[in-house]
Amino acid sequence: MDPCDFVDMIFKIGERYSISTSDIKALIFKLIILSVKFVSKELIWEEKFKDEHVHWELVNHLTNKNIVGNYSEWITLLSFCSWENLAKIEGLIISNYPMLHKLKGHIRESNIDIGGPESWTLTCKILVLTLIQGLSSLHAIEVRDNIIL
């Protein structure tokens, strides 16, 4: 997907769900929060964005779907994200986020790790994809080649 078309699309999504679109970086984070499964979106939203409005009825109306789309949209969205700075705090990740560290190890053992600080970005992108409502968790690793492009 063309980056300009994608940015236009996420602004439209923000408007549709009554989300503030004044900060694109925050908007991307908001779209991720509103699309995850296995956690309380409302609690995370309240902690991160306090009194900012979102149309919860529309968000909660989606059943086994997310507000962004399928893998191509998510891969484009995640292309705007980077976690390369995690390499600087790897020791803290081992003790505070063992699941993330284990995922990185599994990726390395599977020979899909790209090495260097970018390997944390790949790991985090795969983790985010596995947590998106309506996307197959097992398919997230299979789209790895598209993630790193």
Read off the tokens for 147: 């993630």
Give per-residue pLDDT as tens, 134-144. Answer: 988 766 666 65
Q: Do residues 89 and 143 share a domain?
A: yes
Q: Do residues 18 and 52 share a domain?
A: yes
Q: Do residues 63 and 88 share a domain?
A: no
Within a domain: residue 126?
Answer: yes
Q: How far is CA 143 from the centre of its chain?
A: 14
Q: Do residues 88 and 139 share a domain?
A: yes
Containing structural domain, residue 31: 3-67
Q: Do residues 93 and 118 share a domain?
A: yes
- Between 22-26, 33-37, 115-119, the lowest mean confidence (pLDDT) is in 115-119
Q: What per-residue confidence (pLDDT) applies to 52?
A: 93
Q: Report how many domains make up the chain.
A: 2
Read off the tokens for 40: 């309380």
What does each C-alpha distance from 107 to 26, 43, 57, 126, 128 come to in angstroms? 28, 30, 37, 9, 14
Give per-residue pLDDT as tens, 96-113. Answer: 999 999 999 988 888 887
Within a domain: residue 31?
Answer: yes
Last residue of a domain, one of 67, 96, 112: 67
Within a domain: residue 78?
Answer: no
Asked whether the predicted pLDDT for residue 118 surpasses 60, the reply is yes
Burial environment of residue 53 by CB neighbours within 10 A (0 to 12, 13 to 18, 19 or more): exposed
Last residue of a domain, one of 15, 40, 67: 67
Within a domain: residue 77?
Answer: no
Provide the phi-psi class of 70: left if phi over 0, else alpha when psi is between -120 and 50, else beta: beta
Q: Do residues 49 and 90 share a domain?
A: no
Q: Which helix (H) or strand (E) holds 47?
A: helix 41-49
Give per-residue pLDDT as tens, 41-86. Answer: 999 999 999 889 999 999 989 878 999 999 889 988 998 889 989 9
As a whole number of angstroms, the distance between CA 86 and CA 118 comes to 9
What does each C-alpha distance from 25 to 9, 32, 101, 115, 140 come to in angstroms? 14, 11, 25, 26, 23
Q: Do residues 104 and 53 share a domain?
A: no
